[in-house]
Amino acid sequence: MSQSLPHVSSTPSRRSDLRVLWHLLFHRVRGETHAQRLESFYGGQATDYDSFRERMLHGRNELISWIDFPHDGVWLDIGAGTGTNLAFAGDQTKRLCSVHLLDLSPSLLKVADQRIHDLGCENAKTHLADATTFSLPPASVDVITLSYSLTMIPDWFQTLALAEAMLKPGGVIAVVDFYVSRKHATKGQRQHGWLRRAFWTHWFAADNVFLSSDHLAMLHRRFTTDRCEERLGKVPYLPLLQAPYYLFLGRKPTS
């Protein structure tokens, strides 16, 4: 009998954290393709993923709470990982026609499949596929979410182009991710100093997470902004440091 997963994540333990930290600090990411590199990175820490990332990937639950999921709607979660957004959405998933969890790591999706089973989400299924090539029929999706996945997609331009094409007019796109501001931020947006921009860009790049000042700008350009907040979040075991992240809720223009 398979072991049931907790609703979102397990209580963090020292042993679990040590396994994750070992992979982050000492496990060399290998692979000739993006898919191979992702699996090399996540394969050894998939079962410990939620307990550690819950304290680092801020704003995911809050972002999902901003979304009004429509009755009989279609939801696509790009870079779904272990399916935590499904758990965050709770009973709202029952009103949907279908939920698609997309990721390129089989180890993470194995955990997501177990979570779907444990939550009894019969309308949800996983897809092992590349976010730059996977596509549902044009203008067929009501909600698209990306939680800390845009920074891990090399051709993120293509992913956003596909997302725009798949969304219905007026459909929702919700994104939460790490970022850095531009050297000269747009008026009204947060300005990061050069040290913060340089440090976090290089720190995350060691794990093939590529922070950009252009992600948020492109979201504002391609979609109508409903809500956007820029924040700083704590990093486990680095109490004096805070990483910049944003929450974005937008819609595909109706014309």
Nearest alpha carbon to residue 37 among 27, 26, 50? 27
Question: Per DSSP, which regions of 51-128 are E strands?
Answer: 74-78, 98-103, 124-128
- The pLDDT score that the predictor gives to residue 32 is 65
Would you say 127 and 105 are in contact if contact means Cβ atoms under 8 Å apart?
A: no
Instruction: Kindly state whether residue 234 falls inside one of the protein's structural domains.
Output: yes
DSSP state of 188: T
Measured CA to CA, the distance from residue 100 to residue 78 in angstroms comes to 8
Instruction: Kindly state whether residue 212 falls inside one of the protein's structural domains.
Output: yes
- The pLDDT score that the predictor gives to residue 239 is 82
In order, the DSSP letters of 5-17 are: PPSS-PPP-HHHH
Which of the residues in the chain have pLDDT under 50?
1-11, 22, 26
Angstrom CA distances, 1 to 4, 5, 100, 120, stand at: 9, 12, 25, 16
Would you say 136 and 76 are in contact if contact means Cβ atoms under 8 Å apart?
A: yes
**Total structural domains within the chain:** 1
Instruction: Kindly state whether residue 6 falls inside one of the protein's structural domains.
Output: no
3-state secondary structure of 227: strand
Name, in order, each residue with C-beta under 8 angstroms of 123's C-beta and a sequence gap of 6 or more: 93, 94, 96, 97, 98, 99
First to last CA, the chain: 51
Would you say 143 and 78 are in contact if contact means Cβ atoms under 8 Å apart?
A: no
- The pLDDT score that the predictor gives to residue 51 is 61
Instruction: Kindly state whether residue 28 falls inside one of the protein's structural domains.
Output: no
**Domain with 87 in it: what CATH number?**
3.40.50.150
- The pLDDT score that the predictor gives to residue 188 is 86
- 221-251 core/surface letters (b: 16 or more CB in 10 A; e: else): eebeeeebebeeeebeeeeeeebbbbbbbbb
Measured CA to CA, the distance from residue 196 to residue 193 in angstroms comes to 5
Instruction: Kindly state whether residue 44 falls inside one of the protein's structural domains.
Output: no
In order, the DSSP letters of 190-226 are: ----HHHHHHHHHHHHTTT----SSHHHHHHHHSEEE
- The pLDDT score that the predictor gives to residue 7 is 44
The domain in which residue 79 lies consists of 58-251
Place of tokens 């990483």: 243
- Does the predicted TM-score (pTM) go above 0.75? yes
Instruction: Kindly state whether residue 144 falls inside one of the protein's structural domains.
Output: yes
Instruction: Kindly state whether residue 149 falls inside one of the protein's structural domains.
Output: yes
